[in-house]
Amino acid sequence: MASIVFLFLIVSLLSLKDQTAASLSYSCAYRNTSVQFTLLTSAHSASNSASSCSLQQCNGTSADNQTCSLSPTPCFDYRTMNNISYCAPGVDCSVLQPCDNVTHSCASNDSVCIVNSCCSPSAVCLPVLTTEFCSRGWRMTGSMNSRRYFQAGSILVIGKVLVTGGHNGSFALDNAEQYDPSTGSWTTTGSMSFARTSHITSILPNGKVLVTAGHASSGLSLDSAELFDPSLGSWTTTGNLNGARFGHTASILSNGKVLATGGRNGGALNTAELYDLSTGNWTTTGNMNNARYDHTASILPDGKVLVTGGYGSGYLNSSEVYDSSTGLWTTTGNMHAVRYQHTASTLFNGNVLVAGGKDSSGTVLSSVELYDPSTGVWTTTGNMNNPRLWHTASVLSNGKVLITGGYNGFNYLNTTELYDSLTGSWTTAGSMNVVRSLHTAFVLSNGKVLIAGGYDGTNYLNTAELY
């Protein structure tokens, strides 16, 4: 029944897109009472013999409606008995079932009881899926079972998100959990063999997840690695790295091997090594020209790996490229700014966008630059609206880059912004509901971005939200 109703809603809502809100009206019957249902640009109203009401259209500016924005279908502010706000289009009254008059609950777990629908004197059940037509900006989703920052995670081949380890403010974690976008909830899964933070996860060609190194609660660097099998929900240990490290990078090469670079074990490292899934072993490869940690690594269109910045003998602006066919590193153009704890994103055109971080004076940066693999040259582009480090950067399905949260040197941030490579400029993308840094970000198969965990300057977070 729910799927039939939702199919009806999709057809109805798509038909609204080509009509003006001011002229649209229809009528339906509810318990032998005729209801005239009219959509207006300023309000959604209906009347019947028993009651009359006006339902406010969402404008996306009030505190209650900040995630309820205008769309081709007019969206309205529906309310529950507890005054919880839901943003959804005007729905034909004939498809909405009445709520239980006593409990104000719905027979379907996928619906919520709305008391101000204007469809009838009684409350009705609004399918939650209808809110997908109107939801814009940031909204909260299910919270993780554990508070964590400095965690690592990956999107599994089945579309779920795996988050592993991290720190809860007291100790490093060995637990892991999965987020299901279809339900918006997290479930625990098998725990790793080692508690670890500042580690890296990588999705292998066979769908398993490789976790590499990191450090323990004691701060001791780890050389261990292990594999997560999504089909079993369990972990198995695999070959140890040749060198313990954290603050490193791990990149999936075109040949399926994993390249681990640099990191820290007492001091900064210039070593690199390769993981071979077929043997479960690590082998050393050419050393980088510079020891570095808290750097970035990006896969270029030709399959080579670009490493940028970080901290070694000092704060770095150097970059170098790894060629898996030779196992050698070659230096390339220097960035205009020294930076570490920055982000790097490979754009659809093959260029690499580097944003923010901190320089040798301790200044948190708003500056941004682009690397062109065809020339090996860096050029500056538009600055972010906010300086930040410990933020995330996600390449969206439309090619834009979403930057979220972080720290500006004075305050922890909930601000977000979008980079448009066509204009070289940034626009604000609304504020997250929660201030956070050192969090993780995942671009889901449905195009939404999941933000999870982090630190707000006082609290270690288990909350998550969607853009």
- Dist. CA 440–CA 417, nearest whole Å: 16
Asked if residues 412 and 437 have their Cβ atoms less than 8 Å apart, the reply is: yes
User: What is the domain-level CATH number for residue 185?
Assistant: 2.120.10.80
* Same structural domain, 159 and 127: no
In angstroms and rounded to an integer, the radius of gyration of the C-alpha atoms of the chain is: 25
279 Cβ partners below 8 Å, 6+ apart? Answer: 239
Average pLDDT, the chain: 86
* Same structural domain, 384 and 347: yes
* Higher local confidence (pLDDT), 52 or 448: 448
* Same structural domain, 37 and 179: no
Asked if residues 2 and 110 have their Cβ atoms less than 8 Å apart, the reply is: yes
Q: Name the domain boundary from 133, 158, 185.
A: 133
Question: In degrees, to the nearest 5, what angle opens at C-alpha 223 toward C-alphas 220 and 226?
Answer: 120
pLDDT of residue 139: 80
Q: What is the mean pLDDT of residues 354-361?
A: 97
**What are 402-440's pLDDT values in tens digits?**
999 999 999 999 999 999 999 999 999 989 999 999 999
- 308 three-class SS: strand
pLDDT of residue 452: 98
Q: What is the mean pLDDT of residues 3-15?
A: 37
Q: What is the mean pLDDT of residues 230-259?
A: 97
Question: Confidence band (pLDDT; 50, 70, 90) for 455?
Answer: very high
* Same structural domain, 115 and 146: no
Least confidently predicted of 40-44, 139-143, 186-190, 279-283: 40-44
pLDDT of residue 80: 83
* Same structural domain, 119 and 184: no
Asked if residues 389 and 341 have their Cβ atoms less than 8 Å apart, the reply is: yes
Phi first, then psi: give them for residue 248, nearest 5 degrees: -100, -175
Q: What is the mean pLDDT of residues 97-121?
A: 83
* Same structural domain, 150 and 115: no
Query: What total number of domains does the chain contain?
Result: 2
pLDDT of residue 122: 76
pLDDT of residue 67: 52
Choose among 423, 420, 426, 442: nearest CA to 388. Answer: 426
Residue 119 has pLDDT above 80, yes or no: no
Q: What is the mean pLDDT of residues 319-333?
A: 98
* Same structural domain, 163 and 68: no
* Same structural domain, 301 and 343: yes
Locus of tokens 């005054």: 83
Q: Name the domain boundary from 83, 113, 133.
A: 133
| Single-letter residue type at 45 | S
* Same structural domain, 215 and 351: yes
Q: Name the domain boundary from 79, 98, 133.
A: 133
* Same structural domain, 183 and 61: no
* Same structural domain, 323 and 282: yes
| Single-letter residue type at 385 | N
Range of the domain at 57: 2-133
* Same structural domain, 76 and 173: no
pLDDT of residue 314: 96
Question: Confidence band (pLDDT; 50, 70, 90) for 270?
Answer: very high
- Dist. CA 239–CA 219, nearest whole Å: 21
**What are 337-353's pLDDT values in tens digits?**
999 999 999 999 999 99
Question: Confidence band (pLDDT; 50, 70, 90) for 101?
Answer: confident
Q: In the structure encoding, which two tokens stand for residue 24, read together? A: 């649209």
Q: Could you tell me how many residues make up the chain? A: 467
Choose among 279, 235, 284, 236: nearest CA to 256. Answer: 279
